Amino acid sequence: MKAVLIRQFSEDPRTHHVEEVADPVVGPDDVLINVKAASLNFPDLLVMSGKYQVLPERPFIPGKDAAGIVEAVGPNVRSLKPGDHVVAQMENGCFASRLSVPQASAQKISTEIPFADAAAMGLVYQTAFFALTDRGSFRKGRPC
């Protein structure tokens, strides 16, 4: 399969390349996704440049948000089936043509939601929610 493979941390995008890598392994609790869209967020750029607070061992495939179609599921997966449209959030690995994730990391979405829109909502939604509830102490019944 094709994937962006980070061999060295760098801010220069010319150092990052799409390469052929082995297909992901689907474990008993995993979902294999044919990735149709992935979002590029500021934390992805920080990881790729080596400036994020949590850095994976190299080489690695970056990308925290993806959307696509379920290709296969492990024998223990009950919540999803092949053909389902899903969005997935991972620490890394979404900048690939295929992605294997634990079933808890993939959520079914409507077939009416464009893949690009679905992939773009995960991390930014989590960031906004965290900013409002944790940093801003926003609560139901509390004036703004």
Q: What is the pLDDT of residues 18-66, one digit of tens each?
A: 999 999 999 999 999 999 999 999 999 999 999 999 999 999 999 999 9
Residue at 78 is within a domain: yes
Residue at 36 is within a domain: yes
pLDDT at 63: 97
The answer, as to whether pTM is greater than 0.75, is: yes
- Distances in Å between the alpha carbon of 50 and those of 61, 64, 68, 121, 129? 13, 15, 28, 24, 26
**CA dihedral in degrees (106, 107, 109, 115; nearest 10)?**
-30
Indicate the pLDDT class of residue 123, thresholds 50, 70 and 90: confident
Residue at 9 is within a domain: yes
Indicate the pLDDT class of residue 79, thresholds 50, 70 and 90: very high
Indicate the pLDDT class of residue 144, thresholds 50, 70 and 90: low
Total tally of structural domains belonging to the chain? 1
* Residue 94: closest CA among 74, 128, 114, 120: 120
Residue at 63 is within a domain: yes
Residue at 107 is within a domain: yes
Q: Range of 66's domain?
A: 2-135
Length of the chain: 144
Indicate the pLDDT class of residue 139, thresholds 50, 70 and 90: confident
- Range name among 22-31, 83-92, 132-141 with the lowest pLDDT average: 132-141
pLDDT at 95: 98
CATH number, domain with residue 16? 3.90.180.10
What is the arithmetic mean of pLDDT over 70-99? 97
Residue at 144 is within a domain: no
* Residue 62: closest CA among 102, 31, 21, 32: 21
Residue at 143 is within a domain: no
Residue at 140 is within a domain: no
